[in-house]
Amino acid sequence: MSQPPYDPNNPYGQQQNPYGQQPQGWQGAPSTDPFGKPAVYFGAGYTPPPPPPRNRPACLILFIVAMACGLPLCIIGLTVLITGGALAGMGGMLNDMGLGDLGSFISTAVDAMQGPETVAIQGDVTRFDPQAGLDQAAAFAGAGAQFAGLDAQYVRSDGTMDLTATSYNPRVTYSFLRPIEPPANAPPVGAAGNTGGQWYEPITIEAYRPGQVSTITTTGGGISTRIQFVNQGMRKDVGDPTTNPFSVTAPPMRCSFADLWREAIERGASADAVATIRYSEFGDEWTYDFIVPGTIITFNEDCSVDE
């Protein structure tokens, strides 16, 4: 038998595939399979193994088990960036699925996660007039809310404030009281502060730097909630109903802050300073407390100085 001619690429005379191609189904020899494990051959009829099962989050399993067994969940910490009501319908959906306890718990959690309501301030926030802003604050407080005082921090000598300042923290706090009917769960007279008088809902509106990110922590219904929110300009907080409010409703302000400043400058206050001005009840009267470093002046309701 004659020998095949010498082939430098096949020095040992191994038999070659006469068709010049690899066997049917040959796809090379990849180093790994689709799941990252070593692989040797992917030939015809090759079936990759199924992927490993995914583990459910352990916290979700523990949560469902705890609810099913009736175990007390004392405090669950929630950190939420308030961007909308993405979870608003989750409680109802779970109720429809027959998970009533879980749905009720989620609904309570969603209610707790609602951050303070904020709205943009009308006008120039670098020259915010806290007295002119009272109308917007009252509208934001809602129908029936009655003005009950004001605290303006860092008022300039022209009566305005720069709410965009970052080296200090100018803000105005407007207080309101809304008369309401007694709550369904109201305690008896003489208990838990119930005086038997008119029930009120305290409302606070704060105007401060737009865009400021704040974090608050609330606890209620067995849930501790940590909420981060962005203030648009005015922020509203509603307090618990009470028959013993912090104040009574206030008469309209008759003295402009710019006029109070002029009197203070005549008495030695620096026109370059910023003042804290409070309009509040003092005894049977409403007064303006004007405070700058080195100067404290109390103005009566008729704008005269209380000597």
pLDDT of residue 186: 87
Neighbouring C-beta atoms of residue 159, cutoff 10 Å: 21
Give 228's pLDDT tier (boundaries 50, 70, 90).
confident
pLDDT 10s digits, 240-255: 999 888 778 899 999 9
pLDDT 10s digits, 142-175: 999 999 999 999 999 999 999 999 999 999 999 9
Give the distance between the most distant pair of CA atoms in the chain: 134
How does the average pLDDT of the chain come out, rounded? 77
Q: Hunting for tokens 């749905």 — which residue is that?
A: 103
pLDDT of residue 83: 37
Q: Which residue has the higher pLDDT, 219 or 229?
A: 229
Residue 43 has pLDDT above 80, yes or no: no
- Percentage of residues in the chain having pLDDT higher than 70: 62
Q: Which residue has the higher pLDDT, 136 or 4?
A: 136
Contact indicator for 39, 30 with CB cutoff of 8 Å: yes
Q: Are strands 199-207 and 213-220 parallel, antiparallel or unpaired?
A: unpaired
pLDDT of residue 47: 59
Distance CA 171, CA 233 (A): 10
Average of pLDDT values for 19-46?
Answer: 51
Residue 65 has pLDDT above 50, yes or no: no
Distance CA 192, CA 199 (A): 13
Q: Which residue has the higher pLDDT, 99 or 275?
A: 275
73 contacts: CB under 8 Å, gap ≥ 6? 63, 66, 67, 105, 222
Using DSSP's 3-state secondary structure scheme, residue 108 falls into helix
pLDDT of residue 77: 38
pLDDT of residue 217: 81
Kindly report the pTM of this predicted structure.
0.64
pLDDT of residue 224: 77
Residues in the chain: 307
Distance CA 282, CA 299 (A): 11
